Amino acid sequence: MIKTAILAAGFLVAMAPLLSRAQVNGASFDVLASVMETHSKEINAHDVLDSNKKQAEQYREKVIAGWWEFMQASSKAGPGEYCAASFLRAKRLTEPGKADTMKEGIVVTLFGPGGNYRGALLAFSPLGEDSTATFPKVASGKPVRVTLKQGNIKPATLNAIYMETGPKSPPLLAFAVPSMDALLAGMEDKWNFDVSYEGKSIANIEWHDGLKARDELANCLAGKPIAGERHRKGEIGR
């Protein structure tokens, strides 16, 4: 049993030996993939600008500021199942004569138990073509050796699972966490992650309002309605 104090200092790094051996049910990734695909469709400012400039601008500003979303990621989820909290963030891209867009966008998602998988997942996914281009290019479902750094904690090198979520949706790197309680216990109000692959940073993101997100996610896990600004139940059936 890992002490909460250690988890608070670096919850995933502390569990690196366990993560490298953790097994994940494939259906869990199918559901998580739907979350990433939904994010990609919703905040792609280039696509939305064609139909709704105001909506594109709203999405862009929320993501640049950093934005939490909460959901149950399966349409058939029962109370407390498939709960997910995603933090989306990107940098502003300004070009003369063009509407501002985003660059270096990343989503970090905390994903709770669902179906046959009773652990938790921590996943990173790119937002935008520039971020997608830096991710590994390996067979979907294969482990990838990456280095994870959190805050000022010593980096840890461990396995993540690389998943391709669809022909037009972004890939993701997911870490299996043995306990959802451990994942929640380690959340800080402000916390940053940096994932490196082959010596290069591929996902760098810092969240804010982590304690509020923890409480919202805990409420979902307890079977309570999600009350965040953004919430939904996923459209796919699992």
Q: What is the pLDDT of residues 164-210, one digit of tens each?
A: 877 777 888 988 887 888 889 889 999 999 999 999 999 999 999 99
d(CA 44, CA 50): 11
What would the two tokens of residue 200 be? 């290069």
What would the two tokens of residue 226 be? 């999600």
What would the two tokens of residue 211 be? 């304690």
For residue 148, pLDDT over 80 is answered with yes
Check: pTM over 0.75? Answer yes or no. Answer: yes
Residue type, 11: F
**Do you know the residue count of the chain?**
238
Which residues neighbour 213 within 8 Å (Cβ) at sequence distance 6 or greater? 68, 70, 85, 87, 110, 187, 207
Other Cβ atoms less than 10 A from the Cβ of 72: the count is 23
d(CA 110, CA 184): 9
Lowest mean pLDDT among 20-24, 69-73, 87-91, 182-186: 20-24
d(CA 39, CA 85): 12
